[in-house]
C-alpha cells in the first residue's frame, strides 16, 4: 500500500474515532444535564435497577466489545420497511413530555433525512407515576387493531386534551374507527396484559426511564437531540459500530 493510501486510511480512522468520541461527549453532557441520558456500550448484564444520576458512558475496547440487545419487534406498531438497514425501537410513555418532544422534533428529522433506511418500532413502557399512561397505551393498541395506531398516537401527543376514557372515544370517532368495536376492545381491557408485559420485559432488560431507544440493538436513553441519532445511524450505515 502506498504512503498516500496509508495516510488516507489513518485520516479515515481518525475521523471515525472523532465521530465516536463526539457521540459519547454529547450523551454524557445530556446525562449530566438531565440525569436521564446515556449510551450503553459494553453492558454484559442489565442491572435490576438503574440509577439515572449515576449513568455513565462506556467506550468499547478490545476486551469490552459493544453489546447489541435483541429487541423483539414482531407484531408491534412500526413505520418504515421491514428490511430497513436501521431498526429504531422506542420504549415510550404517552404522558412522558420528553417522549412527546422526541416524537415531535427529532423523529421528523430522521424521517426526512433517512427515509426508508430507518424503521421505527414502538414498544410500551408506561411509568408508574403516570396514571393515564397505561390506559392510553391500551387505547392506542385498540386503534392499532383497526389500522390507526400512529394517527391515534398523534392525537394523544398533540391534541392538548386531558387523557381519559371519553377522550379516547372522541379520538376513535375523529379517526373514523368503528367506535363500538373500539369501546369493546378498550373497556374489556383486551391489551392490558400485553402492555404490562411490554413494561415488565423492558424492566428486566434494565430500562428504567422514558424514552429509551435501541438503534440496531444499541441502547440510547433519553430524548437525545437529532445529532446524536445522526451520529449513531451514520456509523451503522457505514459498516456498523464495533
pLDDT by residue for the chain (242 residues), tens digit each?
444 444 344 444 444 444 443 444 333 333 332 233 334 332 323 333 333 322 323 344 444 467 789 999 999 999 999 999 999 999 999 999 999 999 999 999 999 999 999 999 999 999 999 999 999 999 999 999 999 999 999 999 987 778 999 999 999 999 999 999 999 999 999 999 999 999 999 999 999 999 999 999 999 989 889 999 999 999 999 987 66
Any bridge partners for residue 218, and if so which? 215
CA distance 174 to 23: 41
Phi, psi dihedral angles at 120 (to 5 degrees): -95, 130
CA distance 62 to 21: 16
Using CB atoms within 10 Å of the CB of residue 16, give its burial: 0 to 12 exposed, 13 to 18 middle, 19+ buried: middle
- pLDDT score for 192: 97
Residue that has been written with the C-alpha cell 386531558 in this structure: 162
Residue that has been written with the C-alpha cell 414498544 in this structure: 123
Domain 3-237 in CATH 3.40.30.10? The answer is yes
Task: Name the residue ranges covered by the structural domains of the chain.
Answer: 3-237
> What pTM, to 2 d.p., does this model score?
0.75
Please, what is the angle between helix 226-237 and helix 3-34, to 10°? 150
Amino acid at each position: 500500500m502506498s504512503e498516500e493510501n496509508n495516510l488516507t486510511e489513518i485520516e479515515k480512522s481518525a475521523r471515525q474515532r472523532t465521530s465516536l468520541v463526539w457521540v459519547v461527549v454529547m450523551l454524557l453532557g445530556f446525562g449530566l444535564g438531565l440525569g436521564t441520558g446515556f449510551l450503553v456500550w459494553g453492558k454484559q448484564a442489565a442491572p435490576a435497577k438503574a440509577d439515572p444520576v449515576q449513568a455513565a458512558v462506556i467506550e468499547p475496547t478490545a476486551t469490552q466489545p459493544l453489546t447489541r440487545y435483541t429487541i423483539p419487534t414482531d407484531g408491534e406498531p412500526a413505520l418504515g420497511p421491514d428490511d430497513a438497514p436501521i431498526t429504531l425501537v422506542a420504549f415510550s410513555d404517552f404522558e412522558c413530555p420528553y417522549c412527546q418532544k422526541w416524537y415531535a422534533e427529532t423523529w421528523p428529522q430522521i424521517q426526512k433525512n433517512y427515509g426508508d433506511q430507518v424503521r421505527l418500532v414502538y414498544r410500551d413502557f408506561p411509568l408508574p407515576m403516570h396514571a393515564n399512561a397505561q390506559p392510553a397505551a391500551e387505547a392506542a393498541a385498540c386503534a392499532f387493531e383497526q389500522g390507526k395506531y400512529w394517527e391515534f398516537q398523534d392525537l394523544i401527543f398533540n391534541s392538548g386534551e386531558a387523557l381519559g376514557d371519553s377522550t379516547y372515544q372522541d379520538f376513535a370517532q375523529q379517526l373514523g374507527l368503528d367506535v363500538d368495536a373500539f369501546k369493546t376492545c378498550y373497556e374489556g381491557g383486551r391489551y392490558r396484559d400485553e402492555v404490562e408485559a411490554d413494561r415488565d420485559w423492558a424492566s428486566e432488560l434494565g430500562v428504567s426511564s422514558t424514552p429509551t431507544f435501541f438503534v440496531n440493538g444499541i441502547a440510547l436513553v433519553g430524548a437525545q437531540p437529532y445529532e446524536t441519532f445522526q451520529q449513531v445511524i451514520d456509523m451503522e450505515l457505514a459498516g456498523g459500530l464495533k
